[in-house]
Amino acid sequence: MSGNENSQPSVSKNTQSLRRKTLNWSQAEGGFYAIMAGSSETFAFYYAVKQGLDEFQLATLTMLPVLIGAFGNWMIPRLVKDSQLKRALLTLVTLQIIGLIGLFYSVQEQNHFPWILASMILYYLGGMSAGPIWIDWISGWLPTDRMGRYLSRRNSFVAAVTLLTFLLISFLVNRSESLRVFQFVFGIAILARVGSWGLLCFQKNPPLLRLEKHKSLSFHEMRSIAPLAIAILFTAAFRLASNIAAPFFLPYMLSNLHFSLLQYATITAVPYVGRALFLARWGETTRSLRPFIGLQIALVVISFVALAWSLTTTFWMLCAIEFASGVFWGGYELCTVLIFQNFAPRQARGLIGFHTAVSNLTALSGAYLGSFFIHTGANYLEIFEISFTFRGAIALFYILMSLRMPELRVSYKIYGEFLTSVLSLRPTLANVGRIIPARRRKEISNT
């Protein structure tokens, strides 16, 4: 009896030490992932344009890989057992690495389109399918009430590294006149993802008993699945409304506003700054106030982003608009994940995969709808206003539906408290230091 009593603290201490190491490895792995993201996706499409692909090929390249990735994102996580999470994660990351190698090889291959298309399919299929599995896997190491804080701070670090990588690569590509520069760019992405894969190998599986406890929490406390159902419905519809305008910001900047590549790169990078600075505040706020509230606020603010683009052509004003867009899109994504993780932990992996797949399918539909408006004679500014109208209507209906549900009903004062907490200045400035892994070791050791 006394032996058991003496051994229990030792087991608990060992578990805490293993958890600390795992979360530190995960933070470092996020840095390698960010380097890969900052040197691959955007530049793959830019490279395709530079290769002179025709409009049909570019449209196929934009739509088909994401469509296949969305299908894999829905189906693959549903087939993975809890005991296979790490193996599945490593396999999918390997698939993404193969896609990056294909992009690297396509720079010297004469028949560009088939190589680029096959590579992007593998890239998105591996990357999108790995997302829900990674979230479910890392959640086994953290209590539900700490998941939001960890995700927000890790994502802040990832956003900061992605921003720096993107700007450096943009500067490099802008200075080079040869397409060979893209071999160097994709080579960096390959090495970074291989480093990410290696760090994943070092991380341990979460304790199965702990995972089962985590998965049994709070679902029975929900009065119905209606809050989850309307969250999926309205966020998917919101992605459709957003993508009516999203594909046309780039041609609008280059064709109408005549921005340089450096100006375009700056505006594209600014949202990462907003994410890096404020995501930790989103995580802290959702610990005390429910993520449904944050999702409602994010939908409203993001709705006005499309309208703001139609009201100004000033470069610095557009940078400010995109900064706000990054802040609230980051909150939108975090709150969506936390809704599934907190309120339906037994179904979290399947729901996240299903939601991501549906959202990407509706986003594709939105892009086609925006193209239809363009072909019927609408200009870019009219497209932005149409997108704002759809976004605003969806956000309003979601809030009205939420007010009718006891699980989601809150006072107007709570909305103000949530927004004030997210945008509070002093904690936000402190987060500049907190996104650096070394500053968090002591805190992680106490989780």
What is the pLDDT at residue 346? 62
What is the pLDDT at residue 443? 39
For residue 17, how many other CB atoms are within 10 A of its CB? 11
d(CA 260, CA 249): 14
What is the pLDDT at residue 12? 60
- 73 near 132, Cβ under 8 Å? yes
Q: Give phi and psi for 377, each to the nearest 5.
A: 110, 0
Q: Give phi and psi for 188, each to the nearest 5.
A: -60, -45
Q: What is the pTM of this model?
A: 0.71
What is the pLDDT at residue 264? 79
What is the pLDDT at residue 75? 84
For the chain, the farthest-separated pair of C-alpha atoms sits apart, in whole angstroms, at 81
d(CA 370, CA 380): 9
What is the pLDDT at residue 9? 40
Give, for 273, the enclosing helix (H) or strand (E).
helix 261-288
For residue 156, how many other CB atoms are within 10 A of its CB? 27
Q: What number of CA atoms fall less than 13 Å from residue 344's CA on the CB side?
A: 19
For residue 144, how many other CB atoms are within 10 A of its CB? 15
Tens-binned pLDDT, residue by residue, of the chain (447 aa): 334 444 334 446 666 777 777 778 888 888 999 999 888 887 888 788 778 777 577 767 877 888 888 888 888 887 888 778 889 999 999 999 999 999 999 887 766 788 899 999 999 999 988 888 888 788 777 776 677 778 778 888 888 888 889 888 888 887 887 888 899 999 999 999 999 999 888 877 776 434 444 343 343 444 457 778 888 899 999 999 998 988 888 788 877 898 877 787 788 888 888 887 888 888 888 776 678 888 999 999 999 999 999 999 999 999 999 999 999 999 998 888 888 877 666 666 677 778 888 888 888 888 888 888 988 888 999 999 999 999 999 999 998 888 887 766 676 788 888 888 888 755 444 444 444 444 433 433 333
Q: Which CATH architecture has domain 17-445?
A: Up-down Bundle (1.20)
- DSSP 8-state class, residue 255: I
